[in-house]
Chain A
Amino acid sequence: DIQMTQSPSSLSASVGDRVTIACRASRDIRTHLNWYQQKSGKAPELLVYAASSLQGGVPSRFSGSGSGTDFFLTISDLQPEDFAIYYCQQSDITPRTFGPGTRVDIK
Chain B
Amino acid sequence: GQNIDQPTEMTATEGAIVQINCTYQTSGFNGLFWYQQHAGEAPTFLSYNVLDGLEEKGRFSSFLSRSKGYSYLLLKELQMKDSASYLCAVKDDSWGKLQFGAGTQVVVTP
Same assembly: no
* Chain A residues within 8 Å of B, Cβ to Cβ: none
